[in-house]
Amino acid sequence: MKLATVGFLKKEDKIILAKKKQHIHVGEEKLDKSKETYNGYGGKFEVDTDKDIEDTAIRELDEESGGVKGDKKDLVKIGEVEFFWPNNNTNDPNMFVSFYIIDKYIGSPIETDEMYSPEEFLEKDIPYGFMMGADKEIIPKMFENKSGFLKFKVHHFESGEYKIEEVGEINKEIKRNINVNEKFRVNIV
């Protein structure tokens, strides 16, 4: 299972998004409809450099945004998604992605090798129709939920279709304990 993050920069009442310049790759597979879709800043967990998934979020933000600096304590988790690729008939996802809002950071994102120039959107104006398949359905729910974070499972099929299963909501009171436990899961995987 691959671990990854997506971080959405928030500037006052706006969300900063950028289009991806390349396809997202998971191992040898590339997600065909990921290039030139709007997304936050993120990427895969690196065993050699990241102690936990929050390290991944901060490192990827810096790399993909052209130097924006954040702090792990300022990450606000808004969702977790388990992705299952076609022909995966197990209970183990191919990819586990943690989604965050980052509203305290230093610097301004710029165009990079991985992302086009950033654009700011009011939440009500986010171009969900220009995001990857399941993201256009999951991410609005994550932004609307103000009491904790949401968990989803997304099953992809050979036809290109997918099925989304909303697993539940983790409220803010127990969210801190889950973030601590995530570190153990990351180290075990």
Split at pLDDT 50, 70, 90, the class of 178 is very low
**Beta partners for 150?**
79, 169
Token pair in block for residue 69: 């600096």
pTM of the complete model: 0.86
d(CA 135, CA 16): 16
160 and 145 in contact (C-beta within 8 Å)? no
- The mean-pLDDT minimum among 16-25, 88-97, 102-111 falls in 16-25
Token pair in block for residue 141: 């729910």
The SS3 assignment for 38 reads strand
Per residue in 77-100, pLDDT (tens digit) is 999 999 998 888 898 999 999 999
d(CA 59, CA 46): 10
